[in-house]
Amino acid sequence: MIHKPWAGCEGNATELRKMAEKLDAVESGIMNIYAEHLAEGVDIETVKGMVEAETWLNGTQAAEYFRVKVGEENTIAAAVQDYTKLYCHNAPKEILEPEGAAGQQDTGEQDRRKEIVSLAMEYMTR
């Protein structure tokens, strides 16, 4: 996945602006790295659009945009965290489904995690 950098932050408007400036600086650095590794014929504006859109790529797709070596395909996600389900709106459904991720927690553990996330979201949106 390629996406804009993000971070948790709390504080007043001045502190939030400082964090936004830091995120912009991180994004600029990441874009420089992407630019250094673009596949032939790909321009950085294309990648910027993909970053803005939160784009998920498999290895073959990544090789269309970047100079990368593609290894063996892995069709099962090693782990899918709750935050991926909550905040990564463009995540491929295959990795969000329980049968698509290896090593998932048992049902009781999943229920406890859902409850914790629900309580946290309720608290944060007050």
Residue ranges per structural domain of the chain: 1-73, 74-126
Assess contact for 66 and 46: CB atoms under 8 A: no
Assess contact for 31 and 44: CB atoms under 8 A: yes
Question: Residue 116 and residue 32: Cα distance in Å, rounded?
Answer: 38
Assess contact for 32 and 88: CB atoms under 8 A: no
Task: For residue 38, give the 3-state DSSP assignment.
Answer: strand
Length of the chain: 126
DSSP state letter for 99: G
Among residues 95, 1, 96, 4, the alpha carbon closest in space to that of 56 is found at 1
Q: What is the pTM of this model?
A: 0.65
Query: Which residue positions in the chain have pLDDT lower than 50?
Result: 100, 102
pLDDT, one tens digit per residue, over 17-39 is 999 999 999 999 999 999 999 99
